[in-house]
């Protein structure tokens, strides 16, 4: 049922994520659950709502191959933890894009805890229309967000447009890294 009659699909999606991020900001329960599920692999400082863990961050750093001062785009950035951590670790300039104004507001308040003024900025936009110039980014990271885009192919085209020639992108989806063995939570769940 459409809770926002007359709203576009993008407006409806923004409203859903606004509600999610507002609710998440009011509790530590989700962070506690992620930490319990991931154990030592959970990067507490990031406060993510994704499959992001320390091994994924290491892989992302290695795959992006960004030099200090490069420009990183975090597409579907949520509250900014992944992009801000990467900006600090790699000494790069970060632009974070998310459809949720609430997420962008929360991400913006987190900047001083990670990087100096001017090293990171967040803005509300869609994955399909970032508003960034052609070849803007030296690297793109998109953690578990592409599947939420109303037009995933449009989002991929936009990534190609804003990524400089020779730039690198790291995209993830919330799935198991290895199918060779059942994850331990399956056994515990019965």
70-115 confidence digits (pLDDT tens): 999 999 999 999 999 999 999 999 999 999 999 999 999 999 999 9
Q: Tell me the backbone φ, ψ of residue 170, rounded to 5 degrees.
A: -120, 115
Domains and CATH numbers, the chain: 9-172 (3.40.50.150)
Report the pLDDT value the prediction gives residue 51, as an integer from 0 to 100. 73
Which among 12, 101, 89 is positioned nearest to 43, based on CA atoms? 89
For the entire predicted model, the pTM comes to 0.83
Axis crossing angle, helix 9-25 with helix 101-114, rounded to the nearest 10: 50
Which position has the higher pLDDT, 45 or 166?
A: 166
Provide the 8-state DSSP code for 189.
Answer: H
- Secondary structure class of 86 (helix, strand, coil): helix
CA dihedral in degrees (131, 125, 117, 25; nearest 10)? Answer: -170
Distance CA 137, CA 12 (A): 28
Tokens read off for 27:
């509790």
């Amino acid at each position: 049922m459409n809770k926002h009659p007359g709203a576009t699909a993008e407006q409806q999606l923004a409203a859903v994520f606004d509600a999610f991020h507002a609710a998440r900001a009011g509790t530590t329960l989700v962070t506690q659950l992620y930490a319990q599920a991931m154990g030592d692999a959970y990067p507490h400082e990031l406060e993510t709502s994704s499959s992001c863990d320390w091994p994924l961050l290491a892989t992302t750093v290695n795959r992006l191959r960004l030099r200090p001062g490069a420009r990183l785009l975090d597409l579907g950035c949520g509250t900014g933890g992944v992009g801000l951590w990467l900006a600090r670790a790699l000494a790069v300039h970060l632009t974070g894009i998310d459809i949720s104004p609430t997420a962008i507001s929360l991400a913006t308040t987190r900047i001083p805890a990670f990087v100096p003024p001017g090293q990171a900025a967040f803005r509300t936009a869609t994955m399909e229309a970032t508003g960034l110039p052609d070849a803007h980014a030296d690297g793109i990271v998109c953690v578990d967000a592409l599947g939420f885009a109303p037009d995933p192919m449009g989002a991929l085209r936009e990534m190609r447009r804003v990524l400089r020639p020779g730039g690198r992108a790291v995209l993830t989806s919330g799935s198991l890294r290895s199918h060779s063995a059942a994850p331990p939570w399956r056994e515990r769940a019965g």
